[in-house]
Structure 1
Amino acid sequence: MTHPLLRFAAAALATAAFAATLSACTPLVLGGAAVGTLVALDRRTSGAQLEDEGIELRAASRIRDALGERAHVNVSSYNRQVLLTGEVPSEADKQQVAQIVSRVENVKGIYNELGVMGNSSLSQRSSDTLVTGKVKASLVDARDLSVNAFRVITERGTVYMMGRVTQREADRASQIARTVGGVQRVVRLFDIISEEELQRIAPRPTAASSSAN
Protein backbone atom coordinates (compact mmCIF):
# COMPACT_ATOMS: atom_id res chain seq x y z
CA MET A 1 0.00 0.00 0.00
CA THR A 2 1.25 3.48 -0.83
CA HIS A 3 2.46 5.40 2.23
CA PRO A 4 -0.24 7.96 3.17
CA LEU A 5 2.29 10.80 3.52
CA LEU A 6 3.60 10.29 -0.03
CA ARG A 7 0.07 10.27 -1.43
CA PHE A 8 -0.74 13.45 0.53
CA ALA A 9 2.44 15.20 -0.62
CA ALA A 10 1.90 14.34 -4.28
CA ALA A 11 -1.72 15.41 -4.14
CA ALA A 12 -0.80 18.63 -2.35
CA LEU A 13 1.82 19.50 -4.95
CA ALA A 14 -0.55 18.83 -7.83
CA THR A 15 -3.27 20.90 -6.18
CA ALA A 16 -0.88 23.75 -5.49
CA ALA A 17 0.39 23.76 -9.06
CA PHE A 18 -3.14 23.77 -10.46
CA ALA A 19 -4.27 26.58 -8.18
CA ALA A 20 -1.18 28.61 -9.03
CA THR A 21 -1.99 28.27 -12.72
CA LEU A 22 -5.50 29.58 -12.21
CA SER A 23 -4.61 32.39 -9.83
CA ALA A 24 -1.12 33.81 -9.53
CA CYS A 25 -2.30 36.21 -6.82
CA THR A 26 -3.00 33.62 -4.12
CA PRO A 27 0.01 32.45 -2.09
CA LEU A 28 0.15 28.73 -1.39
CA VAL A 29 2.20 27.06 1.35
CA LEU A 30 2.83 23.34 1.58
CA GLY A 31 3.18 22.03 5.12
CA GLY A 32 6.74 22.04 6.46
CA ALA A 33 6.65 18.36 7.38
CA ALA A 34 5.61 17.38 3.86
CA VAL A 35 8.29 19.59 2.30
CA GLY A 36 10.93 18.12 4.60
CA THR A 37 9.88 14.61 3.64
CA LEU A 38 10.00 15.41 -0.09
CA VAL A 39 13.49 16.89 0.23
CA ALA A 40 14.72 13.87 2.16
CA LEU A 41 13.30 11.44 -0.39
CA ASP A 42 14.75 13.29 -3.38
CA ARG A 43 17.64 11.41 -4.99
CA ARG A 44 19.56 14.59 -5.68
CA THR A 45 21.93 15.86 -3.03
CA SER A 46 20.62 18.74 -0.93
CA GLY A 47 23.21 20.94 -2.63
CA ALA A 48 21.95 20.00 -6.08
CA GLN A 49 18.37 20.70 -5.02
CA LEU A 50 19.32 24.19 -3.85
CA GLU A 51 21.29 24.83 -7.02
CA ASP A 52 18.35 23.73 -9.16
CA GLU A 53 16.07 26.16 -7.35
CA GLY A 54 18.57 28.96 -7.85
CA ILE A 55 18.97 28.12 -11.54
CA GLU A 56 15.22 28.25 -12.10
CA LEU A 57 14.81 31.58 -10.31
CA ARG A 58 17.76 33.31 -11.97
CA ALA A 59 17.02 31.97 -15.43
CA ALA A 60 13.32 32.90 -15.28
CA SER A 61 14.16 36.40 -14.13
CA ARG A 62 16.72 36.99 -16.90
CA ILE A 63 14.39 35.58 -19.57
CA ARG A 64 11.57 37.81 -18.36
CA ASP A 65 13.85 40.86 -18.46
CA ALA A 66 14.91 40.04 -22.03
CA LEU A 67 11.62 38.94 -23.61
CA GLY A 68 8.93 40.37 -21.36
CA GLU A 69 5.36 39.22 -21.99
CA ARG A 70 5.88 38.29 -25.63
CA ALA A 71 7.10 34.84 -24.65
CA HIS A 72 5.93 32.10 -22.30
CA VAL A 73 8.93 30.17 -21.02
CA ASN A 74 9.06 27.55 -18.26
CA VAL A 75 12.43 26.68 -16.73
CA SER A 76 12.76 23.27 -15.05
CA SER A 77 16.14 22.28 -13.63
CA TYR A 78 16.98 18.78 -12.37
CA ASN A 79 20.49 17.98 -11.23
CA ARG A 80 21.69 21.11 -13.08
CA GLN A 81 20.20 19.96 -16.41
CA VAL A 82 17.69 22.56 -17.61
CA LEU A 83 14.54 21.86 -19.59
CA LEU A 84 13.03 24.82 -21.46
CA THR A 85 9.37 24.51 -22.43
CA GLY A 86 6.73 26.97 -23.58
CA GLU A 87 6.43 29.26 -26.57
CA VAL A 88 8.48 32.04 -28.15
CA PRO A 89 7.69 34.23 -31.19
CA SER A 90 10.71 33.30 -33.33
CA GLU A 91 13.61 30.92 -33.79
CA ALA A 92 15.95 33.78 -32.86
CA ASP A 93 14.11 34.16 -29.54
CA LYS A 94 14.41 30.42 -28.95
CA GLN A 95 18.17 30.57 -29.39
CA GLN A 96 18.41 33.73 -27.28
CA VAL A 97 16.66 32.02 -24.38
CA ALA A 98 19.08 29.10 -24.57
CA GLN A 99 22.03 31.50 -24.55
CA ILE A 100 20.63 33.35 -21.54
CA VAL A 101 20.21 30.12 -19.59
CA SER A 102 23.64 28.80 -20.57
CA ARG A 103 25.19 31.79 -18.79
CA VAL A 104 23.40 31.05 -15.51
CA GLU A 105 25.71 29.75 -12.79
CA ASN A 106 25.77 25.95 -12.25
CA VAL A 107 23.92 25.03 -15.47
CA LYS A 108 25.51 21.91 -16.98
CA GLY A 109 23.18 21.20 -19.89
CA ILE A 110 20.07 22.47 -21.69
CA TYR A 111 17.16 20.70 -23.36
CA ASN A 112 15.57 23.38 -25.53
CA GLU A 113 11.98 22.23 -26.17
CA LEU A 114 10.53 25.70 -26.78
CA GLY A 115 7.91 25.93 -29.51
CA VAL A 116 8.05 28.76 -32.04
CA MET A 117 4.41 29.87 -31.93
CA GLY A 118 1.97 32.09 -30.07
CA ASN A 119 1.67 31.78 -26.30
CA SER A 120 -0.54 28.95 -25.06
CA SER A 121 -3.93 29.82 -23.60
CA LEU A 122 -4.91 29.64 -19.93
CA SER A 123 -7.15 26.67 -20.69
CA GLN A 124 -4.25 24.80 -22.34
CA ARG A 125 -1.98 25.50 -19.37
CA SER A 126 -4.68 24.36 -16.95
CA SER A 127 -5.13 21.16 -18.98
CA ASP A 128 -1.37 20.55 -18.88
CA THR A 129 -1.33 21.04 -15.11
CA LEU A 130 -4.12 18.50 -14.68
CA VAL A 131 -2.24 16.01 -16.87
CA THR A 132 0.87 16.46 -14.71
CA GLY A 133 -1.21 15.82 -11.60
CA LYS A 134 -2.71 12.66 -13.09
CA VAL A 135 0.70 11.34 -14.11
CA LYS A 136 2.08 11.95 -10.62
CA ALA A 137 -0.95 10.26 -9.06
CA SER A 138 -0.41 7.24 -11.32
CA LEU A 139 3.24 7.07 -10.24
CA VAL A 140 2.14 7.19 -6.60
CA ASP A 141 -0.19 4.24 -7.23
CA ALA A 142 2.63 2.18 -8.76
CA ARG A 143 3.97 0.11 -5.89
CA ASP A 144 7.31 -0.51 -7.59
CA LEU A 145 8.20 3.19 -8.10
CA SER A 146 9.06 6.16 -5.91
CA VAL A 147 7.19 9.24 -7.12
CA ASN A 148 9.82 11.50 -5.55
CA ALA A 149 12.42 10.17 -7.98
CA PHE A 150 10.61 11.82 -10.89
CA ARG A 151 10.12 15.37 -12.12
CA VAL A 152 7.09 15.64 -14.43
CA ILE A 153 6.43 18.65 -16.70
CA THR A 154 3.63 18.86 -19.25
CA GLU A 155 3.52 21.30 -22.17
CA ARG A 156 0.77 21.20 -24.81
CA GLY A 157 0.04 17.55 -24.02
CA THR A 158 3.68 16.43 -24.13
CA VAL A 159 4.92 14.98 -20.85
CA TYR A 160 8.60 15.45 -20.04
CA MET A 161 10.05 13.16 -17.38
CA MET A 162 13.27 13.87 -15.50
CA GLY A 163 14.98 12.13 -12.61
CA ARG A 164 17.82 9.92 -11.39
CA VAL A 165 16.37 6.48 -12.04
CA THR A 166 17.33 3.01 -13.13
CA GLN A 167 16.52 1.71 -16.60
CA ARG A 168 13.76 -0.40 -15.09
CA GLU A 169 12.21 2.62 -13.37
CA ALA A 170 12.52 4.74 -16.51
CA ASP A 171 10.75 2.14 -18.66
CA ARG A 172 8.04 1.52 -16.07
CA ALA A 173 7.31 5.22 -15.47
CA SER A 174 7.20 5.96 -19.20
CA GLN A 175 4.79 3.09 -19.73
CA ILE A 176 2.52 4.41 -16.97
CA ALA A 177 2.61 7.99 -18.27
CA ARG A 178 1.61 6.91 -21.78
CA THR A 179 -1.62 5.41 -20.43
CA VAL A 180 -2.78 8.61 -18.71
CA GLY A 181 -5.62 10.47 -20.38
CA GLY A 182 -4.55 13.67 -22.13
CA VAL A 183 -0.93 12.57 -22.68
CA GLN A 184 -0.03 12.92 -26.35
CA ARG A 185 3.68 12.15 -26.12
CA VAL A 186 6.27 11.22 -23.48
CA VAL A 187 9.82 12.59 -23.65
CA ARG A 188 12.38 10.92 -21.39
CA LEU A 189 15.20 13.08 -20.05
CA PHE A 190 16.41 10.72 -17.35
CA ASP A 191 19.79 10.39 -15.69
CA ILE A 192 20.09 6.59 -15.77
CA ILE A 193 21.81 5.01 -12.77
CA SER A 194 22.59 1.39 -11.95
CA GLU A 195 20.62 -0.73 -9.50
CA GLU A 196 23.74 -0.77 -7.31
CA GLU A 197 23.93 3.01 -7.24
CA LEU A 198 20.23 3.16 -6.42
CA GLN A 199 20.85 1.01 -3.36
CA ARG A 200 23.56 3.43 -2.25
CA ILE A 201 21.52 6.63 -2.64
CA ALA A 202 17.99 5.41 -1.86
CA PRO A 203 16.72 7.06 1.35
CA ARG A 204 16.31 4.72 4.28
CA PRO A 205 12.98 4.92 6.16
CA THR A 206 13.20 6.66 9.51
CA ALA A 207 12.18 4.97 12.73
CA ALA A 208 9.02 7.07 12.81
CA SER A 209 7.97 6.13 9.28
CA SER A 210 8.80 2.47 9.88
CA SER A 211 6.61 2.35 12.99
CA ALA A 212 3.78 4.01 11.08
CA ASN A 213 3.62 1.18 8.51
Structure 2
Amino acid sequence: MKKIILSIFLIANSLFLTSCAPAIQGASTVSSVISISNDRRSIGKILDDKTIALRLLTWSSEDSTLSDAHLNFMVYNKIVLITGEVPTPEMRVYASKQAQRQVPKISQIFNEIKLGPSSGLLSRAKDSTITIQVELLFQNQEVFHPTHVRVMTEDQVIYLMGALTKREADMAAKTAAKAKGAYKVVKLFDYLKTRPKAEIERDRLKALEDKRRAELEKQQAELEAKKADLQRQIRALGSNTTGTNFSPE
Protein backbone atom coordinates (compact mmCIF):
# COMPACT_ATOMS: atom_id res chain seq x y z
CA MET A 1 0.00 0.00 0.00
CA LYS A 2 2.86 2.38 0.88
CA LYS A 3 4.48 1.71 -2.50
CA ILE A 4 1.26 2.61 -4.32
CA ILE A 5 0.88 5.85 -2.33
CA LEU A 6 4.53 6.73 -3.00
CA SER A 7 4.13 6.05 -6.71
CA ILE A 8 1.06 8.27 -6.95
CA PHE A 9 2.85 11.01 -5.00
CA LEU A 10 5.86 10.87 -7.33
CA ILE A 11 3.65 11.08 -10.40
CA ALA A 12 1.75 14.06 -9.01
CA ASN A 13 5.00 15.74 -8.02
CA SER A 14 6.60 15.21 -11.42
CA LEU A 15 3.47 16.53 -13.13
CA PHE A 16 3.71 19.71 -11.06
CA LEU A 17 7.36 20.17 -11.95
CA THR A 18 6.83 19.63 -15.67
CA SER A 19 3.93 22.09 -15.69
CA CYS A 20 6.45 24.71 -14.59
CA ALA A 21 8.93 23.79 -17.31
CA PRO A 22 8.05 25.00 -20.84
CA ALA A 23 10.86 22.89 -22.38
CA ILE A 24 8.92 19.69 -21.72
CA GLN A 25 5.79 19.45 -23.82
CA GLY A 26 3.32 16.66 -24.33
CA ALA A 27 1.83 16.63 -20.84
CA SER A 28 -1.85 17.38 -21.34
CA THR A 29 -2.66 21.10 -21.34
CA VAL A 30 -6.37 20.27 -21.14
CA SER A 31 -6.03 18.20 -17.96
CA SER A 32 -3.04 18.48 -15.65
CA VAL A 33 -3.56 15.06 -14.12
CA ILE A 34 -2.80 11.79 -15.92
CA SER A 35 -5.64 9.28 -15.90
CA ILE A 36 -3.62 6.30 -14.76
CA SER A 37 -6.55 3.91 -15.10
CA ASN A 38 -6.68 4.59 -18.86
CA ASP A 39 -2.94 4.90 -19.54
CA ARG A 40 -1.56 1.88 -21.38
CA ARG A 41 1.72 2.16 -19.50
CA SER A 42 2.24 0.76 -16.04
CA ILE A 43 2.85 3.12 -13.12
CA GLY A 44 6.51 2.09 -13.24
CA LYS A 45 6.83 3.03 -16.91
CA ILE A 46 5.07 6.33 -16.35
CA LEU A 47 7.54 7.13 -13.57
CA ASP A 48 10.47 6.12 -15.80
CA ASP A 49 9.27 8.42 -18.58
CA LYS A 50 8.80 11.33 -16.17
CA THR A 51 12.25 10.75 -14.70
CA ILE A 52 13.86 10.68 -18.15
CA ALA A 53 12.11 13.90 -19.15
CA LEU A 54 13.20 15.69 -15.98
CA ARG A 55 16.81 14.55 -16.36
CA LEU A 56 16.91 15.75 -19.96
CA LEU A 57 15.45 19.10 -18.97
CA THR A 58 17.99 19.55 -16.19
CA TRP A 59 20.90 18.58 -18.43
CA SER A 60 19.86 20.78 -21.38
CA SER A 61 19.39 23.81 -19.14
CA GLU A 62 22.81 23.38 -17.47
CA ASP A 63 24.96 22.34 -20.46
CA SER A 64 26.85 25.46 -21.61
CA THR A 65 27.30 23.93 -25.07
CA LEU A 66 23.55 24.29 -25.58
CA SER A 67 23.34 27.90 -24.40
CA ASP A 68 22.18 29.05 -27.85
CA ALA A 69 19.80 26.13 -28.35
CA HIS A 70 16.10 25.74 -27.75
CA LEU A 71 15.13 22.12 -27.06
CA ASN A 72 11.88 20.34 -26.22
CA PHE A 73 11.50 16.72 -25.08
CA MET A 74 8.63 14.25 -25.17
CA VAL A 75 9.02 10.74 -23.74
CA TYR A 76 6.89 7.63 -24.10
CA ASN A 77 7.99 4.11 -23.11
CA LYS A 78 11.61 5.31 -22.88
CA ILE A 79 11.47 6.58 -26.48
CA VAL A 80 12.50 10.23 -26.68
CA LEU A 81 11.53 12.88 -29.20
CA ILE A 82 13.74 15.97 -29.31
CA THR A 83 12.57 19.06 -31.17
CA GLY A 84 13.62 22.68 -31.25
CA GLU A 85 16.33 24.74 -32.90
CA VAL A 86 20.13 24.84 -32.76
CA PRO A 87 22.55 27.10 -34.68
CA THR A 88 24.88 24.40 -36.09
CA PRO A 89 24.75 20.82 -37.45
CA GLU A 90 27.38 19.82 -34.89
CA MET A 91 25.18 20.98 -32.02
CA ARG A 92 22.26 19.01 -33.46
CA VAL A 93 24.31 15.79 -33.38
CA TYR A 94 25.73 16.68 -29.98
CA ALA A 95 22.28 17.13 -28.45
CA SER A 96 21.14 13.70 -29.58
CA LYS A 97 24.29 11.84 -28.52
CA GLN A 98 24.60 13.62 -25.21
CA ALA A 99 20.96 12.94 -24.35
CA GLN A 100 21.62 9.22 -24.68
CA ARG A 101 24.71 9.51 -22.48
CA GLN A 102 22.79 11.41 -19.84
CA VAL A 103 20.09 8.72 -19.65
CA PRO A 104 21.39 5.32 -20.85
CA LYS A 105 17.99 3.69 -20.31
CA ILE A 106 16.59 5.61 -23.31
CA SER A 107 15.67 2.97 -25.91
CA GLN A 108 15.40 5.25 -28.95
CA ILE A 109 15.76 8.91 -29.89
CA PHE A 110 13.92 10.75 -32.66
CA ASN A 111 16.00 13.81 -33.50
CA GLU A 112 13.69 16.40 -35.06
CA ILE A 113 15.87 19.39 -34.15
CA LYS A 114 16.03 22.07 -36.85
CA LEU A 115 18.90 24.37 -37.75
CA GLY A 116 18.25 28.03 -37.14
CA PRO A 117 17.64 30.66 -34.47
CA SER A 118 15.53 29.83 -31.44
CA SER A 119 11.80 30.27 -32.00
CA GLY A 120 10.18 33.36 -30.52
CA LEU A 121 7.37 33.63 -28.01
CA LEU A 122 4.76 34.18 -30.74
CA SER A 123 5.77 31.00 -32.54
CA ARG A 124 5.68 29.00 -29.32
CA ALA A 125 2.27 30.45 -28.44
CA LYS A 126 0.92 29.32 -31.82
CA ASP A 127 2.32 25.85 -31.22
CA SER A 128 0.68 25.67 -27.79
CA THR A 129 -2.64 26.71 -29.32
CA ILE A 130 -2.38 23.93 -31.89
CA THR A 131 -1.59 21.38 -29.17
CA ILE A 132 -4.65 22.45 -27.17
CA GLN A 133 -6.81 22.16 -30.29
CA VAL A 134 -5.58 18.61 -30.91
CA GLU A 135 -6.23 17.55 -27.33
CA LEU A 136 -9.75 18.98 -27.49
CA LEU A 137 -10.39 17.25 -30.82
CA PHE A 138 -9.29 13.95 -29.27
CA GLN A 139 -12.11 14.32 -26.73
CA ASN A 140 -14.72 14.22 -29.51
CA GLN A 141 -14.00 10.78 -30.94
CA GLU A 142 -14.53 7.24 -29.65
CA VAL A 143 -11.84 5.18 -31.40
CA PHE A 144 -9.19 5.68 -28.70
CA HIS A 145 -8.94 7.22 -25.26
CA PRO A 146 -7.31 10.71 -25.29
CA THR A 147 -4.75 9.62 -22.68
CA HIS A 148 -3.40 7.03 -25.13
CA VAL A 149 -1.78 9.74 -27.25
CA ARG A 150 0.77 12.38 -26.28
CA VAL A 151 0.99 15.55 -28.33
CA MET A 152 3.77 18.03 -29.06
CA THR A 153 3.73 20.84 -31.61
CA GLU A 154 6.93 22.44 -32.88
CA ASP A 155 6.96 25.05 -35.66
CA GLN A 156 3.36 24.07 -36.54
CA VAL A 157 4.30 20.40 -36.96
CA ILE A 158 2.28 18.06 -34.73
CA TYR A 159 4.11 15.07 -33.25
CA LEU A 160 2.12 12.18 -31.82
CA MET A 161 3.40 9.40 -29.54
CA GLY A 162 1.72 6.50 -27.78
CA ALA A 163 0.91 2.79 -27.96
CA LEU A 164 -1.92 2.38 -30.48
CA THR A 165 -3.34 -0.06 -32.98
CA LYS A 166 -3.15 0.95 -36.65
CA ARG A 167 -6.83 1.90 -36.65
CA GLU A 168 -6.35 4.09 -33.59
CA ALA A 169 -3.17 5.64 -34.99
CA ASP A 170 -4.87 6.52 -38.27
CA MET A 171 -7.76 8.13 -36.42
CA ALA A 172 -5.38 10.08 -34.19
CA ALA A 173 -3.48 11.46 -37.19
CA LYS A 174 -6.69 12.26 -39.09
CA THR A 175 -8.16 14.02 -36.07
CA ALA A 176 -4.98 15.99 -35.28
CA ALA A 177 -4.78 17.20 -38.89
CA LYS A 178 -8.03 19.14 -38.35
CA ALA A 179 -6.29 21.58 -36.00
CA LYS A 180 -6.14 25.08 -37.48
CA GLY A 181 -2.64 26.29 -38.23
CA ALA A 182 -1.08 22.83 -38.37
CA TYR A 183 1.43 22.24 -41.16
CA LYS A 184 1.67 18.46 -40.92
CA VAL A 185 1.32 15.51 -38.54
CA VAL A 186 4.16 13.12 -37.67
CA LYS A 187 3.27 9.72 -36.17
CA LEU A 188 5.83 8.18 -33.81
CA PHE A 189 3.68 5.40 -32.43
CA ASP A 190 4.49 2.10 -30.82
CA TYR A 191 2.05 -0.02 -32.83
CA LEU A 192 -0.05 -2.71 -31.15
CA LYS A 193 -1.50 -5.69 -33.03
CA THR A 194 -4.62 -5.62 -30.89
CA ARG A 195 -6.02 -3.64 -27.99
CA PRO A 196 -4.96 -4.91 -24.53
CA LYS A 197 -7.20 -7.72 -23.26
CA ALA A 198 -7.75 -5.99 -19.93
CA GLU A 199 -8.97 -2.91 -21.77
CA ILE A 200 -11.36 -4.93 -23.92
CA GLU A 201 -12.74 -6.69 -20.83
CA ARG A 202 -13.16 -3.37 -19.04
CA ASP A 203 -15.11 -1.99 -21.99
CA ARG A 204 -17.25 -5.15 -22.10
CA LEU A 205 -18.13 -4.83 -18.43
CA LYS A 206 -18.86 -1.14 -18.88
CA ALA A 207 -21.17 -1.92 -21.81
CA LEU A 208 -23.02 -4.46 -19.65
CA GLU A 209 -23.31 -1.96 -16.82
CA ASP A 210 -24.58 0.73 -19.22
CA LYS A 211 -27.15 -1.74 -20.60
CA ARG A 212 -28.29 -2.69 -17.10
CA ARG A 213 -28.57 0.97 -16.12
CA ALA A 214 -30.54 1.75 -19.29
CA GLU A 215 -32.97 -1.09 -18.55
CA LEU A 216 -33.47 0.14 -14.98
CA GLU A 217 -34.08 3.68 -16.24
CA LYS A 218 -36.60 2.31 -18.78
CA GLN A 219 -38.41 0.36 -16.05
CA GLN A 220 -38.42 3.43 -13.83
CA ALA A 221 -39.86 5.53 -16.65
CA GLU A 222 -42.59 2.92 -17.26
CA LEU A 223 -43.48 2.85 -13.57
CA GLU A 224 -43.63 6.64 -13.46
CA ALA A 225 -45.88 6.64 -16.52
CA LYS A 226 -48.21 4.05 -14.93
CA LYS A 227 -48.23 6.02 -11.70
CA ALA A 228 -49.13 9.22 -13.54
CA ASP A 229 -51.89 7.43 -15.47
CA LEU A 230 -53.31 5.96 -12.25
CA GLN A 231 -53.34 9.40 -10.64
CA ARG A 232 -55.24 10.79 -13.63
CA GLN A 233 -57.81 8.02 -13.31
CA ILE A 234 -58.23 8.69 -9.57
CA ARG A 235 -58.70 12.42 -10.22
CA ALA A 236 -61.23 11.64 -12.94
CA LEU A 237 -63.22 9.34 -10.64
CA GLY A 238 -63.17 11.96 -7.90
CA SER A 239 -64.42 14.60 -10.30
CA ASN A 240 -67.27 12.39 -11.52
CA THR A 241 -68.35 11.54 -7.98
CA THR A 242 -68.43 15.20 -6.92
CA GLY A 243 -70.49 16.27 -9.91
CA THR A 244 -73.20 13.56 -9.53
CA ASN A 245 -76.54 14.65 -7.96
CA PHE A 246 -78.72 12.08 -6.23
CA SER A 247 -82.42 13.01 -5.70
CA PRO A 248 -84.85 10.98 -3.57
CA GLU A 249 -87.86 9.42 -5.27
Shorter-chain TM-score: which interval?
Answer: 0.7 to 0.9
| TM-score computed with the length of structure 1 as normaliser | 0.77
Alignment CA distance shift 1:110-1:117 (3 Å): same
- Give, in whole Å, the separation in 2 of the partners of 1:129 and 1:138: 14
- Give, in whole Å, the separation in 1 of the partners of 2:174 and 2:197: 23
Aligned to 2:85: 87
Aligned to 2:47: 50
Aligned to 1:26: none
Quote the offset at 1:119 in angstroms. 0.3
Are the aligned partners of 1:62 and 1:100 in contact in 2 as well (CA < 8 Å)? no
Q: Which of structure 1's runs of 4+ aligned residues deviate more than 6 A?
A: 210-213
| TM-score computed with the length of structure 2 as normaliser | 0.66
Aligned to 1:171: 170
Alignment CA distance shift 1:68-1:151 (3 Å): same
- Give, in whole Å, the separation in 2 of the partners of 1:202 and 1:80: 25
Aligned length: 184
The alignment partner of 1:70 has SS state of coil
Greater relative contact order (Cα 8 A, min sep 6): structure 1 or 2? 1
Name stretches of at least 5 consecutive residues in structure 1 with no aligned partner. 1-12, 22-29
Alignment CA distance shift 1:202-1:130 (3 Å): farther
Name stretches of at least 5 consecutive residues in structure 2 with no aligned partner. 1-14, 23-29, 215-249
> Residue 118 in 1 paired to residue 124 in 2?
no
- Give, in whole Å, the separation in 2 of the partners of 1:68 and 1:112: 15
In the alignment, residue 44 of structure 1 is paired with which amino acid? Answer: R
Of residues 91, 94, 97, the one that matches 1:96 is: 94
The alignment partner of 2:36 has SS state of helix
Are the aligned partners of 2:66 and 2:91 in contact in 1 as well (CA < 8 Å)? no
Are the aligned partners of 2:164 and 2:191 in contact in 1 as well (CA < 8 Å)? yes
- Give, in whole Å, the separation in 2 of the partners of 1:119 and 1:71: 6
Alignment CA distance shift 1:202-1:119 (3 Å): farther
In the alignment, residue 151 of structure 2 is paired with which amino acid? Answer: V
- Give, in whole Å, the separation in 2 of the partners of 1:94 and 1:203: 45
- Give CA-to-partner distance per residue, 1:129-150, whole Å, 9 cap, x none: 0100000100111122210000
Aligned to 2:76: 78
Quote the offset at 1:68 in angstroms. 4.7
> Which structure's CA Rg is the greater one?
2
Instruction: Output the aligned Cα RMSD.
Output: 2.9
- Give CA-to-partner distance per residue, 1:134-168, whole Å, 9 cap, x none: 00100111122210000000000000000000000
Q: What fraction of aligned residue pairs are identical, expressed as a percent?
A: 30
> Residue 131 in 1 paired to residue 130 in 2?
yes
Aligned to 1:150: 149
Quote the offset at 1:39 in angstroms. 2.2
